[in-house]
Amino acid sequence: MARPKRPPWQVEQTKNKIFQATLELFNRQGYEAVTIRKIARRAGCSPATIYNYYSDKDALYLDILTEGFAILYQLLQAEPRSRDPLVRLRAYTAVFYRFSLDHPYYYDIMFSFHVPKYLDYAGTPAEETAFAEKEVALKNIGLILEAMADFYRGCPALRSAPGMVTGRALTLLGTCHGIISLHRSGIWAELETDFSALYFSAVDDYLQKLTREKEELLAGEVRLRAARQQPTGEEYSSRRSFWKKR
């Protein structure tokens, strides 16, 4: 009984070649332009060979996607870890900004696009690769979450609003992504003059809001509840009672 295999370093090498070829093609031309045959030609193999290493074209893309999240995570971690959580948050948003410019195609598939097959698994995650991708994506958000938790540490009101820290983190990320996304879509190209200024102004505004909120939280909830009398008629009043319920 013989159990013959090709040298494992060789098979690993071909898989690497395929991955690398996909990466280069993808970073040059984006999602739509990359085809199995192009990848095969660049990797120096047959189109069918790819299916020995990836079940799907989507599976291959998932590897690319995961690589993208890994790169972003590395960039985020490379940032000097300041003791001030706000400095960290601000640095993260700057990294996020630069990433969207330096790796536009990565950014697209990571945040704007969708490899739908993998991103919404309503039931059990049939593919364990999908799990890995989700994990590495959440690691990125985890850094923001951690900084945000650090920022709000010591606020007594937090116990009654457990989802607040997460909400603040997701809102910050959402704001960053939204501005980047709409800018890149070109939908407001005629209106916007300075993208960078718009982005960081929004970020700073939100961070300032967080600072003010923390001060109020530390000053005690009483001031919060009294806050502002309900105005008459249709005049608008933004309540912040949300995080209290549920």
Which among 48-56, 91-99, 171-179, 197-205 is the span making contact with DNA, rule CB under 7 A? 48-56
d(CA 137, CA 51): 25
Which does residue 47 bind out of a copy of itself, DNA, none, counting CB within 5 to 8 angstroms by kind? DNA
By CB under 7 A, tell whether 2 contacts DNA: yes
Which does residue 194 bind out of a copy of itself, DNA, none, counting CB within 5 to 8 angstroms by kind? a copy of itself
Least distance in angstroms from the C-beta of 56 to a copy of itself: 14
Least distance in angstroms from the C-beta of 18 to a copy of itself: 24
Q: Which is nearer to DNA, 1 or 122 (CB)?
A: 1
Q: Which of 27, 30, 42, 51 binds DNA (CB under 7 A)?
A: 51
Residues that bind a copy of itself (CB under 8 A): 82-84, 86-87, 89-90, 111-114, 119-120, 134, 137-138, 141, 145, 163, 166-167, 170-171, 173-179, 181-183, 185-194, 197-198, 200-202, 204-209, 211, 234-236, 238-240, 242-243, 246
Q: How many residues bind DNA (CB under 7 A)?
A: 27
Least distance in angstroms from the C-beta of 158 to a copy of itself: 15
d(CA 37, CA 46): 8
Q: Which is nearer to a copy of itself, 17 or 134 (CB)?
A: 134
Which does residue 36 bind out of a copy of itself, DNA, none, counting CB within 5 to 8 angstroms by kind? DNA
Tell which residue, 94, 88, 133, has the closest CA to residue 110.
Answer: 133
The 3-state secondary structure of the chain, one letter per residue: CCCCCCCHHHHHHHHHHHHHHHHHHHHHHHHHHCCHHHHHHHHCCCHHHHHHHCCCHHHHHHHHHHHHHHHHHHHHHHCCCCCCHHHHHHHHHHHHHHHHHHCHHHHHHHHHCCCHHHHCCCCCCCCHHHHHHHHHHHHHHHHHHHHHHHHHCCCHHHHHCCCHHHHHHHHHHHHHHHHHHHHHHCCCCCCCCCHHHHHHHHHHHHHHHHHHHHHHHHHCHHHHHHCCCCCCCCCCCCCCCHHHCC
Least distance in angstroms from the C-beta of 22 to a copy of itself: 20
How many Cβ atoms are within 10 Å of 4's Cβ, its own excluded? 4
Which among 47-55, 77-85, 176-184, 225-233 is the span making contact with DNA, rule CB under 7 A? 47-55
Considering only residues 23 through 42, tell me which ones interact with DNA, judged by CB under 7 A: 34-38
